[in-house]
Amino acid sequence: MSTRLTTDQIERYSRQIMVPDIGGKGQIHLRQARVLVIGAGGLGSPAAFYLAAAGVGTLGIVDPDRVELSNLQRQILHATADIGRHKVESAKTKLNDLNPDVEIDIFAVRFEEDNAAEIAAGFDFIVDGSDNFDTKFLVNDVAIRLDIAFSHAGIVRLQGQTMTVLPRKTACYRCLFQAPPPPEEILNCQQSGILGAVAGTLGTIQATEAVKYLAGFEEGLLTDRLLTYDAKAMKFHSVEVTRDPQCAACGDKQAAER
């Protein structure tokens, strides 16, 4: 892909090129970058919109589902007329309407053990916008195996949490939580609801982290910190976390076995 920006691109991205930390060089890095968004839902919608707007060269979108009426309260990539359409196709239309410069690769499948490595290979960053623990652990493990930086996020009701992971350099999702919670707790989570704007806040933070990583400023990334958001009290809190050398995904034993 070209290492020069066209006149149109310079105008389109002028307000972020003006940001000293990004500049023309950062913009070219974004243009050459490939980001995989897992899930075209509440988190994936704002993340993908901002990444497309920012001029990320290629966006991969993975989602097996079709748009339902109850999605529209938070999954802002999709409109009323999209009900029944594959979410990845609806997403591709919206993202290319916003920015035809961005190549959108769609995968209308569930991100599973069987296909995860094949889908994720070749991407520079992963935004995990999945809505279940099994997928979150799978994204974590595959990203570490393939050495791809990623952003984790989870949301429920009026709360969210997020963290960025640089494989084997910073704490991973499994360093913190080891394994998915028992099924009875998961069921409670899925029934508990979510405010759309809370998903928007967390997905937007994930897009910010992706842009920062791709534009080359690693120092300020949300690594070794779990950021929690309580929308009811309107409070952000960050908890320091450390990498576990015994971690089943990123521990030293796993590194030695590679």
- Residues with a catalytic annotation lie at 189
- Give the residue, chosen from 104, 163, 211, 249, that forms a contact with Zn ion under the rule CB under 5 A: 249
Helix (DSSP H) and strand (DSSP E) numbers for the chain:
11, 8
Structure token digits, residue 235:
């409070």
CB 28 within 8 A of CB 57: no
Residues in CB range of 85: below 8 A, 6 or more apart: 66, 67, 78
CB-nearer residue toward Zn ion: 5 or 248? 248
| Among 112, 114, 106, 115, CA closest to 87 | 106
- Give me the least distance between CB of 133 and Zn ion, in Å please: 16
Structure token digits, residue 52:
């497309």
- Give the residue, chosen from 172, 202, 207, 227, that forms a contact with Zn ion under the rule CB under 5 A: 172
Residue span binding Zn ion (CB under 5 A) among the ranges 99-107, 145-153, 161-169, 240-248: 240-248
- Give me the least distance between CB of 173 and Zn ion, in Å please: 7
Residue span binding Zn ion (CB under 5 A) among the ranges 26-34, 102-110, 171-179, 189-197: 171-179
- What is the radius of gyration, based on Cα positions, of the chain? 18
- Give the residue, chosen from 143, 175, 211, 221, that forms a contact with Zn ion under the rule CB under 5 A: 175
Residue span binding Zn ion (CB under 5 A) among the ranges 1-9, 47-55, 192-200, 239-247: 239-247
Please state, in angstroms and rounded to a whole number, the distance separating the CA atoms of residues 245 and 86.
41
Q: Which residues are near Zn ion by CB under 5 A?
A: 172, 174-175, 247, 249-250
